[in-house]
Structure 1
Amino acid sequence: MLKIGLTGGIASGKSVAAARLRELGAVVIDADALAREVVEPGTPGLARVVGAFSKAILSPDGGLDRPKLGALVFGNPERLAVLNSIIHPLVRERAAALAASAPKGAVVVQDIPLLVETGQGANFHLVVVVDAPDDVRVQRMVQHRHMTAADARARMAAQAGRELRLAAADAVLDNSGAKEELRDAVDRLWKFRLAPFAENLARHRLAARSGGPVLTPANPDWPAQADRLIARLRAAAAPDVLTLDHVGSTAVPGLAAKDVLDLQLGVEDMAAAERIAPLLADAGFPAWPGIISDNPKPSRPDPADWAKRLHGNADPGRAVNLHVRAVGSPGWRFALCFRDWLREDAAARADYLAEKRRVAKLHGVDKSTAGYAADKEGWFADYAAPRMESWARHTGWHPPSYTAPATAPVPEAGAARGPGRTGSGSGTAES
């Protein structure tokens, strides 16, 4: 199933989006409704709340008096934390049970007002944020909820700020206008992203990519996008994940690239890479068939040391190459060293950009990026690698995300002679 986390600040229009997703066929799980359900009369949840706050928070009929409880916790972080420590685990447990009972291949949307505040983003394939400017939300609360502007802003201040929510979003639904415009935006998201993503996920199928290489200006949001994906991958495949890094051109600030995120997942060995392949597929990253080698020249020693598994993304809205390599292997080391060299050396960045533009021009009318990747290999092996290794020796560079144990040292700088071909059109520094 495709798991979507839906959130938005108070008066953002999240309920309108959730209702439309339900109409389109999604299974919608409302966290607010569950929060009421788990403290109904006779439930263990209500008993725990009474134990923490006394019977004073009960109404005459034995139910929870929400205004009384709200008055106790609103504006009191310590009391609110106690209440949340009771309610949130119960809600998550109930939500997980409902999600597990959803039909195979369903799009399951969990409507969670405090998704960002509770750090749940990594639990979903996508986080969708319904957004509206703060002044618009205040106006809505004043007009439709009969609140004062001061009360409205106080409610907003009790939630995560708008910038934090947007930073957690894989997709943003703008609701600064009419409800009909929001519904139309939901329809487009469903048609072009959620429905195909769900089908790809059910089939463990990569999202379709077509066309030759198109270089785009550097996007300052690329690192944040990579960080969100890295968090999901860690959650999906722990404890086999030893390292996870953003590599390739999109990891180099200011460098133009294809809009494809390259991520590198380091494992103990290729047996571990095989073992976690189904977990990565369930997380939205199915594998290309078989083992791929980064080493293009059979004359090089131990070509198996350059082996990797290559995964892509089932999400049509975000292209990803996920390179799964053994930690300490030449290919694993090269990807990290090449990235850091480009980050530190302006001349190297300029040389690589010139090479990418040259090759992109040659393959601009291609139906895939395979030719583009293949034609860069000579530059990697003959031009980039020796200069990169000289830089690594001069600076004392070592892989930043992993300290190899004494029994398994990282290969010497000279062991990495170039990334070579992947056999799929996605090289080590391919973007």
Structure 2
Amino acid sequence: MLRIGLTGGMGAGKSTVARLLAERGAVLVDSDVIAREVVAPGTEGLAALVAAFGDDILAADGSLDRPALAAKAFATDEARATLNGITHPLVGKRTTELIAAAPADGIVVQDIPLLVENGLGPFMNLVVVVMADIDTRVHRLEAFRGISPEDALVRIQAQATDEQRRAAGDVLLDNNGDSADLEPQVHALWEQRLVPFEENLRTGQRAPRGAVDLVDPDPTWAAQAQRLITRLHVACGDKARRIDHIGSTAVADLPAKDVLDIQITVADLAVADALRDALAAIGFPRLDLITTDDAKPGTDPALWEKRIHVNADPGRPVNIHVRVDGWPGQRFALAFVEWLRGDAAARAEYLEIKRKAAANAVGLSGPEAIDAYLAVKTPWFEQVYPRVLAATGQA
């Protein structure tokens, strides 16, 4: 199933987005609701808290007196660790149960206020962050929750910063306006990205791609790639020797196709094959049509074999190249980025080739466009291969 992490700062409107997604059919798993559920009267969670902190954390009706607990649990680091040691496993267990109960074709939205702070983004297929300016959030907290502006600001500043949330978010929803502005964004996210992503994930299909176009450099490419790399590290575990952002989008200020290229370096092709299911499960099915790079002159063609995975997510085109450590394709991918980053003339030369290749693919789409694009680039790569190795000290 597709797992979406939903987060946002206090007052940003995360709960509104959660409601809108649930209305469209999402299976909502709310961390705040679960956190209250696992310490309700009669639960093992509440019994454990009483045993650790005393009977005076209970209200007259036997329910948890949260302010009384907070006064004790947040008094010291040791007490806070005790609280977390009791509640976090229970929340995790219940979350796992709810996700397991969701249908196989479900879109599970996990509403997690501290997703960024707790580093949970890599465990999701996609992270959606609801954004709003601090002044807007303070006003909402005062108007709708009765929290003073001073207290609201203190609470907001204790959470992750907007910059940290932007870095963690695959999708940013602007909620500085009202619900009339927010609802179309949520509807578009659901219909254009989440629904097709879930179907592609379930059926093991790649998302369609259109024409081959060069676009201006996107300053967020590096951050987008880093989110993917972190997610891939979780999926690959110790099977990956290294994971790198490669290709044109890894070179600052270079126009490129809006496709992120990531290289996973492995010990051998058996390991590459062993990663097939793990990569498909996080949204990167294998493309069996391609099993090798074009061998360069004077090299062993067998050493250019690789595996390639592509995106099921229609909102982010990605090529994941799984190559063997030390083989020429793996070395060249890293050396090529190093060469471009360090040589302005090389970047200008490559950009000219890319423009010619894009022009050769005008009017085409899908595999035909890629073939036309590569028809121009492949001979050039053969020509510059020895230059790149010499320039980077790998000749």
TM-score bracket, normalised by the shorter chain, equals: over 0.9
Which blocks of at least 5 consecutive residues in structure 1 are unaligned?
A: 394-412, 415-431
Aligned AA (2:219): P
Aligned residue for 2:218, secondary structure, equals coil
Match of 2:360 in 1: 362
User: Given the superposition, is the C-alpha separation of residues 53 and 233 from structure 1 closer, same or farther in structure 2, using an over 3 Å criterion?
Assistant: same
Supply the distance in 2 between the matched residues of 1:144 and 1:70 (Cα, whole angstroms).
Answer: 23
Aligned residue for 2:264, secondary structure, equals strand
CA contact (8 A) 1:21 1:186 kept: yes
Aligned residue for 1:218, secondary structure, equals coil
1:199-224 superposed Cα distances (whole Å, 9 cap, x missing partner):
0001000000021x211111111111
Supply the distance in 2 between the matched residues of 1:218 and 1:264 (Cα, whole angstroms).
Answer: 20
Cα offset for 1:101?
1.3
Match of 2:114 in 1: 114
Match of 2:263 in 1: 264
Cα offset for 1:135?
0.3
RMSD value, Cα: 1.7
Supply the distance in 1 between the matched residues of 2:178 and 2:91 (Cα, whole angstroms).
Answer: 32
Match of 2:380 in 1: 379
Match of 1:217 in 2: 216
Supply the distance in 2 between the matched residues of 1:17 and 1:71 (Cα, whole angstroms).
Answer: 32
Show the 5 A alignment for 1:312-391: 312-367=310-365, 368-382=369-383, 384-391=384-391
Supply the distance in 2 between the matched residues of 1:56 and 1:316 (Cα, whole angstroms).
Answer: 53
Match of 2:277 in 1: 278
Higher helix share: 2
1:48-97 superposed Cα distances (whole Å, 9 cap, x missing partner):
32343322211123321012223445686664454334322321221111
Cα offset for 1:341?
1.1
Aligned AA (1:269): D
1:92-121 superposed Cα distances (whole Å, 9 cap, x missing partner):
221111111110111001000111111100
Cα offset for 1:283?
0.8
Aligned AA (2:204): H
Cα offset for 1:131?
1.1
Show the 5 A alignment for 1:39-118: 39-73=39-73, 79-118=79-118
Show the 5 A alignment for 1:146-225: 146-211=146-211, 213-225=212-224
1:220-246 superposed Cα distances (whole Å, 9 cap, x missing partner):
111110111111111112221221110
Aligned AA (2:346): A
When structure 1 is superposed on structure 2, of 145-154 and 157-166 the one drifting more is 157-166
Supply the distance in 2 between the matched residues of 1:167 and 1:282 (Cα, whole angstroms).
Answer: 23
Supply the distance in 1 between the matched residues of 2:335 and 2:90 (Cα, whole angstroms).
Answer: 46
1:357-413 superposed Cα distances (whole Å, 9 cap, x missing partner):
12222322222222112311111111x2122122122xxxxxxxxxxxxxxxxxxx3
Match of 2:26 in 1: 26
Supply the distance in 1 between the matched residues of 2:189 and 2:77 (Cα, whole angstroms).
Answer: 36
CA contact (8 A) 1:28 1:108 kept: yes
Match of 2:144 in 1: 144
Aligned residue for 2:306, secondary structure, equals strand
Supply the distance in 2 between the matched residues of 1:72 and 1:133 (Cα, whole angstroms).
Answer: 33
CA contact (8 A) 2:353 2:376 kept: no
Aligned residue for 1:264, secondary structure, equals strand
CA contact (8 A) 2:295 2:304 kept: no
1:9-67 superposed Cα distances (whole Å, 9 cap, x missing partner):
11111111111111101100010000011112232222332343322211123321012
Aligned residue for 2:276, secondary structure, equals helix
Supply the distance in 1 between the matched residues of 2:201 and 2:376 (Cα, whole angstroms).
Answer: 32
Asked whether 1:235 is paired with 2:234, we answer yes
Aligned residue for 2:122, secondary structure, equals helix
User: Given the superposition, is the C-alpha separation of residues 157 and 79 from structure 1 closer, same or farther in structure 2, using an over 3 Å criterion?
Assistant: farther
Match of 1:420 in 2: none
User: Given the superposition, is the C-alpha separation of residues 342 and 120 from structure 1 closer, same or farther in structure 2, using an over 3 Å criterion?
Assistant: same
User: Given the superposition, is the C-alpha separation of residues 283 and 164 from structure 1 closer, same or farther in structure 2, using an over 3 Å criterion?
Assistant: same
User: Given the superposition, is the C-alpha separation of residues 291 and 218 from structure 1 closer, same or farther in structure 2, using an over 3 Å criterion?
Assistant: closer
Supply the distance in 2 between the matched residues of 1:132 and 1:190 (Cα, whole angstroms).
Answer: 20
Aligned residue for 2:40, secondary structure, equals coil
User: Given the superposition, is the C-alpha separation of residues 355 and 180 from structure 1 closer, same or farther in structure 2, using an over 3 Å criterion?
Assistant: same
Supply the distance in 2 between the matched residues of 1:180 and 1:79 (Cα, whole angstroms).
Answer: 44
CA contact (8 A) 2:357 2:375 kept: no
Residue identity (%): 50
CA contact (8 A) 1:133 1:176 kept: yes
Cα offset for 1:3?
0.4
Aligned AA (2:233): R
Supply the distance in 2 between the matched residues of 1:359 and 1:278 (Cα, whole angstroms).
Answer: 34
Which blocks of at least 5 consecutive residues in structure 2 are unaligned?
A: none
State the number of aligned residues.
392
CA contact (8 A) 1:45 1:86 kept: yes
Supply the distance in 1 between the matched residues of 2:124 and 2:76 (Cα, whole angstroms).
Answer: 30
When structure 1 is superposed on structure 2, of 339-348 and 124-133 the one drifting more is 339-348
Per the normalisation by structure 1, the TM-score is: 0.87
1:276-305 superposed Cα distances (whole Å, 9 cap, x missing partner):
1111111100011155211346x7443111
Aligned AA (1:123): F
Match of 1:294 in 2: 293
CA contact (8 A) 1:246 1:264 kept: yes
Supply the distance in 1 between the matched residues of 2:215 and 2:210 (Cα, whole angstroms).
Answer: 16
CA contact (8 A) 2:340 2:346 kept: yes
CA contact (8 A) 1:16 1:183 kept: no
Supply the distance in 2 between the matched residues of 1:223 and 1:51 (Cα, whole angstroms).
Answer: 48
Aligned residue for 1:369, secondary structure, equals helix
Supply the distance in 2 between the matched residues of 1:53 and 1:346 (Cα, whole angstroms).
Answer: 64
